[in-house]
Structure 1
Amino acid sequence: MLLPVFASLTLLVPPAPKYPADAIAPALRENAHAVVRAFDKVVTVKSAGQLVETVHRVVTVLDEAGSDDYGREVVYYDALNRINYLHGAVYDAQGNLLHQLRPAEVHDQGLGSAGGSLMTDVRVRYADLRQPATPYTVEFDYEVTSANTLFYPDWQPQHDENVSLEGATLQVTTPTALPLRFEEQLLPAGAASPPVVAGSQTTYRWRLPAAPAVEEEPLAPALSALLPAVHLAPATFEVQGYAGSLASWQSLGQWVYELGKGRDVLPPALTAKMAQLLVTSPDPRERARKVYEFLQGSTRYVSVQLGLGGWQTSPATSVATGGYGDCKALSNYTCALLKAAGLPAYVALVGAGADHADVRTGFPSSQFNHAILCLPLAGHGTTPADTVWLECTSQTEAFGYMGSFTGNRHALLLTPEGGRLVATPRYGAQANRQQRRTDLWLDPSGGAKATVRTQRLGLAQDRYAQLLHEADPEEQKKYVSNHLRLSHFTVTSLRLAPAPGPALPGVVEVMGLELASMGTAAGRRLLLEPNVLGRLGALPNQVGARQAPLALPPAALYQDTVRLHVPTGFQVENLPAPAQFTTAYGTYSSTCTALPDGTLQYVRQLETRRPGGGTLPAAKYGEYRDFRRKISQADNAQVVLVKTDA
């Protein structure tokens, strides 16, 4: 018997709309490119050696500016972290399902680096659900099982500017016998719930309410330090059978030290070669310098991130044989070389990078991404006054120099007794110097030619040292041109060279310039600013009450001398008045004088300071802005030349 036609049809009911864009509160749309509708993370600790992280993330992309960062999902994994699944869906403005992510659309890719400088088992899975029309909403779910419990995942649902938050939750369940350690950062009242114990498990919960988008303010710390977060860490952990404790910096350092124990043995011939330096170079510092020069001339850096290899160093014999290693291996190898030369040293872990936040000293946990070497020259203590720090991965870095990459922060010294937090070198104004001499030949129409010699030392030379050793001449010229505060100019010649002198590393830059409009013609007069290259801009007025603390740039000393060659047929009508002032933020002076040979000489000096360690309350912004405004006004003072009747 045939069934009625209507009985054989399955009614397809479309899913109900989810996350419609018009449900977002107006306050969350203000200044926002995207809105995090939900960021729910569940961490389940299975044992001292395993945890599972489950993430549910929903973001409404409001405009094209938010699409690249929030229309996609990227999940990292390696030999110690396994992705169980990655699901996704995308919805239109009304919340109607546009597309469900298919398995074939989840891409898998290994990480690599040109030139063979990276050996890693790290891979990524990523999904792209970006849409041509906004607003739209993406929803991603993924789960990762980790056998590397040295790292617990952090939780910071809102971490970018111009992104608001509708709500987020964090739940951590751990065996009561494996206590959770956590550090709360700027959480609103009521965000944390009391831990709940059920049987042998303890569960912790946090919830963040809606929060508007934030905009970065001038000279503010990184947003990651200014927005709510929960940092997680274990009390005890295990990685590939190696158990450890994070109860203190001492215990973390002990674990890492034990991983490298016995891996500092050199080939006998190399040991003898280093020992010979005791005879040929009896001065400890000079001996250490020779060891460092040997290291730089015989090894190269290759990053190794393979399982436990991310933490356990390769043996020193492997580096000696192969001529390469990662930061741990090269530091361990250098330590072995120095030991053979009669100079005990210690490997140290550090958070490297010019923008890397310093260690949260009150929360022992794995916050490091690099290894360096600490060499105490005065005695055998671990923190003597006379200490040399060595960057062992660079073939060009100056002996004993840390710079912006690893200087002015804490490092974890690895000793037989365990770890100890110590400070790496801090560079003050006198160390960070920029000294510039400019000769400027002005023509009657306001154009000019100039030769400029600039010597940069300390932190001021960091980027230029990279250019000197790593970039071709065209790339050097492009970088220098892009960082000149000038308009309508041409760099006609450029030469970079190491600065003479053994104290601090430096770079000398000699440059030729053509400037189409150095001076402004006004009838019979030429108006120009003698501060050709050293002008410091003013800071904007704060709109509304400032929220973020003030993070001052490193202290520095800037010295400029400009010799201005007046064109024939012109004479000086007016010179800028001398300027001089001193505040808590620095000292400034500038003068412009006529010399007997008919030239003008402009001399400017600015020495900046960092009161309060460089971080000040938000209320100090106006005071610092006034300091910068006074500098800007003096820097833009003009010389007036007038055409003679002759």
Structure 2
Amino acid sequence: MKALLSFLAVLPLGSFLVHPAAPAPKYAVADIPAALREGANAVLRANDEVVTVKSAGRLVHTVHRVVTVLSDAGDDFGRHGEYYYDLESLSYLRGAVYDADGRLLHQLRAAEIHDQGVGGNDLMTDVRIRYADLRQPQTPYTVEFDYETVSDNPLFYPHWQPQEAEGLAVQSASLRVTTPTALPLRYQERQLPAGTAVAHTSTNGQETYEWHLANLPAVDEEEAAPPLATLTPTVAMAPGTFEVQGHKGSAASWQNLGLWSYELNAGRDVLPPATLAKVQALVRDAPDARARAQRVYEMLQGTTRYISVQLGLGGWQTFPASSVASNGYGDCKALSNYTVALLKTAGVPACVALVKAGPDEPDIRADFPSTQFNHVIVCVPPAKGDRADTLWLECTSQTNAFGYMGSFTGNRHALLLTPEGGKLVATPRYGTAENRQVRRLDLFLDATGSATATARTLRIGQEQDLYAALLHELGPAEQKKYVTDHLRLSTFTLTKLSLAAAPAGPLPGVVEHLALALPGFAPPSGKRVFINPNLLSRLPALPAQVGERQSDLWLDHASLHADTVRLHLPTGFHPETLPAPIQLSTAYGTYASQYATLPDGTIQYIRRLELKRGHLPKTAYAGYLDFRRKISVADKTQVVLLKTES
């Protein structure tokens, strides 16, 4: 035995070590069909999702996802993060990255997975995120991620939309859902390719649903296109019945879903005696319900602040109104519930409403009852026999105008929560009559071609939303920087800027005053000066359509812009020619401009542009492109001034 050990000792160690073979290459870029690489920033090689409904109160979601990043524009696909919280745990997150030939470059290690809380000064949450970054310095490369979540909040079924971004092609994707027969799956299909159908089977008290997608070319980003959520294949899913921490409910109808949320928060509207007395004194001499509601709203804005609360069931169940009264803060649910309690004390019936908020958020699927909301507001229906409009209140803002929803929650659906259940209704619609910009500009030209200008701009409705944020959230220096950065002028100095709230009216407004120095604005060319009086309101043309238009034309913002410009001439100059009037009338809007010489020699330019809201077929895009081109040409029209012979 000793002899054998001595013999082994003199042999090279490598004679006995078995080197593991390198993993066989997979996901080589060359294996992607050329048609899928064309115009793509990344290709989804595989996206296999399995949803297992364990009970009315639990579901498991597993995902295997492989993405080949083809260019720097697709680099975001090289990293992945998953949120988790008290009611949804993350079982695991694994990953690997491969080179262009499919060779394994790196296996994700546990130490490379970052885990951190999500929050800030205005957030109370148990939400965390676990994420990994496998981006590479050079493209192409391929990342592979596997993860599993276990949810005890089955209000939210996963939303299957493999083609989640422009520039992403899909080579293969699948979805399999297994659920007990007693808990049938509710689903809605949209934009599935022709011939794609769900495979539904039943075995041993279990229902299985399967979908498969393959070889979807990348979707180009197009001007004035519908939200991507409406363009690419999607399966939305929702429960029929569900249970969250012992609270059972149904999502089979808006009425049922709203009733669950209403009952979850019932009895949380009790106010302290001191608050009751304060409200009663506040509204004692108010002439009507609207005046009482306004006083209550102003009290809310002056005594509370917003924080976000996402703690377990707290994502749905509000703090009691007494808590807000004592602490002076709450999230959108708590502040809205508190406001309803205040209004009730003031003799103004109201209810909370769920809404999908955000200036760029598409409206909910009104024909598919399910949890699609992210915000809570207050609705004050008109009293019986009252001809006044329904009143809506945003309770999280200390500066929002009374009764104004704006681009954050206007022009969409909301779900009222009433004792009878949910009622789906429309929030205020803002069109050209409401969204207005009215500008008066005076342009003073000197004999050398330099100029100064002063302008007063009144913005109302959704046209003022951005400027209201500038007014209330930024200081003067930041306001000036923002406006300077967004003026489309070649050489100028912003010498004055002021923003102020417009006088009270049916809709909020912001008044902007500015002054500009414009050196070398219109230098003489011989005896003539060529000048464009449209200094601040030029609408650029759109880029020409490359290839065939793929999506419908969505014009989601309606507005009316009215400009009056007065051009003050230096001594010795007069207009040689004035442009002819222009009038355009289309399905997309109207445009008109005209010039005139006033008795004092000033040249007046009047411009009016109305843009309509509408969803039109893709064949309408060519006309819209032409409309924008003609506006751009008209907005560049020049006045020719002639210097008088001395």
| TM score, norm. by length of structure 1 | 0.96
Tell me the equivalent position of 1:644: 644
Q: 1:160 to 1:516 in 2, by over 3 A?
A: farther
Q: Which of residues 177, 181, 184 is equivalent to 1:176?
A: 181
Measured in 1, the distance between the counterparts of 2:481 and 2:179 equals: 54
Q: Which of residues 513, 517, 521 is equivalent to 2:516?
A: 513
- Matched to 2:198, the amino acid is S
Query: How many residue pairs are counted as aligned between the two chains?
Result: 638
Q: Which of residues 112, 137, 140 is equivalent to 1:135?
A: 140
- Matched to 1:211, the amino acid is L
Structure 1 residue 245 and structure 2 residue 250: aligned?
yes
Equivalent residues in 2 for 1:130-529, closer than 5 Å: 130-277=135-282, 279-379=284-384, 386-529=389-532
Superposition deviation, residue 636 in structure 1: 1.5
Equivalent residues in 2 for 1:33-44, closer than 5 Å: 33-44=41-52
Measured in 2, the distance between the counterparts of 1:230 and 1:567 equals: 66
Measured in 2, the distance between the counterparts of 1:515 and 1:160 equals: 43
Tell me the equivalent position of 1:17: 25
Q: Deviations over 1:134-155 (max 9, x none)?
A: 1111101001111110000111
Measured in 2, the distance between the counterparts of 1:553 and 1:474 equals: 32
Superposition deviation, residue 447 in structure 1: 2.2
Measured in 1, the distance between the counterparts of 2:195 and 2:622 equals: 33
Contact 2:250 2:256 in 1 (8 A): yes
Superposition deviation, residue 385 in structure 1: 5.7
Superposition deviation, residue 386 in structure 1: 2.1
Superposition deviation, residue 185 in structure 1: 1.2
Q: Percent identity?
A: 63
Instruction: For structure 1, list consecutive stretches of 5 or more residues without a partner in the other structure.
Output: none
Measured in 2, the distance between the counterparts of 1:39 and 1:444 equals: 68
Q: Deviations over 1:451-493 (max 9, x none)?
A: 1110000000001001101111122112212322222222111
Q: 1:137 to 1:109 in 2, by over 3 A?
A: same
Contact 1:129 1:138 in 2 (8 A): yes
Measured in 1, the distance between the counterparts of 2:172 and 2:424 equals: 37
Measured in 1, the distance between the counterparts of 2:366 and 2:490 equals: 46
Measured in 2, the distance between the counterparts of 1:135 and 1:403 equals: 43
Q: Which of residues 108, 113, 116 is equivalent to 1:109?
A: 116
Q: Deviations over 1:578-600 (max 9, x none)?
A: 11232232222211111121211
Contact 1:345 1:373 in 2 (8 A): yes
Q: Which of residues 533, 554, 559 is equivalent to 1:530?
A: 533
Superposition deviation, residue 127 in structure 1: 0.5
- Matched to 1:235, the amino acid is G
Superposition deviation, residue 313 in structure 1: 0.7
Tell me the equivalent position of 1:46: 54
Superposition deviation, residue 522 in structure 1: 2.5
- Matched to 1:643, the amino acid is K
Q: 1:365 to 1:385 in 2, by over 3 A?
A: farther
Give the 3-state SS of the residue equivalent to 1:203 in structure 2. strand
Superposition deviation, residue 264 in structure 1: 0.3
Q: 1:492 to 1:553 in 2, by over 3 A?
A: farther
Q: 1:344 to 1:571 in 2, by over 3 A?
A: same
Give the 3-state SS of the residue equivalent to 1:210 in structure 2. strand
Equivalent residues in 2 for 1:59-138, closer than 5 Å: 59-67=67-75, 69-113=76-120, 116-138=121-143
Measured in 1, the distance between the counterparts of 2:455 and 2:526 equals: 30
Superposition deviation, residue 265 in structure 1: 0.4
Q: Which deviates further from its counterpart, 632-641 or 388-397?
A: 632-641
Q: 1:52 to 1:574 in 2, by over 3 A?
A: same
- Matched to 2:436, the amino acid is R
- Matched to 1:208, the amino acid is L
Superposition deviation, residue 7 in structure 1: 5.7
Superposition deviation, residue 277 in structure 1: 4.4
Contact 2:199 2:211 in 1 (8 A): no
Q: 1:171 to 1:520 in 2, by over 3 A?
A: farther
Measured in 1, the distance between the counterparts of 2:483 and 2:556 equals: 21
Q: Deviations over 1:426-470 (max 9, x none)?
A: 012121110101111112333211111100000000010011011
Tell me the equivalent position of 2:589: 586
Measured in 1, the distance between the counterparts of 2:588 and 2:220 equals: 25
Measured in 2, the distance between the counterparts of 1:289 and 1:489 equals: 43
Q: Which deviates further from its counterpart, 619-628 or 344-353?
A: 619-628
Structure 1 residue 598 and structure 2 residue 601: aligned?
yes
Q: Deviations over 1:524-568 (max 9, x none)?
A: 211111111111122233222211111114221111011111123
- Matched to 2:33, the amino acid is A
Measured in 1, the distance between the counterparts of 2:191 and 2:424 equals: 25
Q: Which deviates further from its counterpart, 433-442 or 189-198?
A: 189-198
- Matched to 1:559, the amino acid is A
Measured in 2, the distance between the counterparts of 1:521 and 1:202 equals: 80
Measured in 1, the distance between the counterparts of 2:84 and 2:238 equals: 19
Superposition deviation, residue 278 in structure 1: 5.0
Measured in 1, the distance between the counterparts of 2:233 and 2:519 equals: 51
Contact 1:153 1:232 in 2 (8 A): yes
Tell me the equivalent position of 2:560: 557
Measured in 1, the distance between the counterparts of 2:363 and 2:79 equals: 30
Contact 1:344 1:380 in 2 (8 A): no
| TM score, norm. by length of structure 2 | 0.96
Measured in 1, the distance between the counterparts of 2:144 and 2:385 equals: 57
Tell me the equivalent position of 2:616: 616
Give the 3-state SS of the residue equivalent to 1:551 in structure 2. strand
Give the 3-state SS of the residue equivalent to 2:216 in structure 1. coil
- Matched to 1:630, the amino acid is K
- Matched to 2:49, the amino acid is K
Contact 1:275 1:342 in 2 (8 A): no
Structure 1 residue 631 and structure 2 residue 638: aligned?
no
Superposition deviation, residue 569 in structure 1: 2.8
Measured in 2, the distance between the counterparts of 1:521 and 1:142 equals: 68
Measured in 2, the distance between the counterparts of 1:540 and 1:11 equals: 58
